[in-house]
Amino acid sequence: MADDERAERRRPRTSAKLGDLTLIVRVPGKPAAVRTFTAAEAAEARRYAEQHGSTVEQLGSIQ
C-alpha cells in the first residue's frame, strides 16, 4: 500500500453523529475506501470523489 493511501486511511474521525452524515463517496472496486461526510464537508467530499474517480451521493433520511 502506498504512503498516500495509508495517510488517507488514517483520516481523523470527526465528532459527527450518524444523523449529521449527508454525503457518501463509494470508490468503485474498493469497498474499504467508502467515506461519509457531513454537509459542511461537501468540498472535501468532492475532492475525495475526484481523486478516486467517483461521485458524491446524497444520503437519504430514515423515517
Cα–Cα dist 51/53, whole Å: 6
Residue 24 reports pLDDT greater than 70: yes
Q: 16 falls in which pLDDT band (50, 70, 90)?
A: confident
Cα–Cα dist 16/33, whole Å: 19
Residue 53 grid cell = 474517480
Residue 13 reports pLDDT greater than 60: yes
Residue 63 reports pLDDT greater than 60: no
Residue 11 grid cell = 483520516
Neighbour count for residue 41 (Cβ, 10 Å): 19
Q: 61 falls in which pLDDT band (50, 70, 90)?
A: low
Please give the pLDDT value at position 9. Answer: 56
Please give the pLDDT value at position 2. Answer: 54
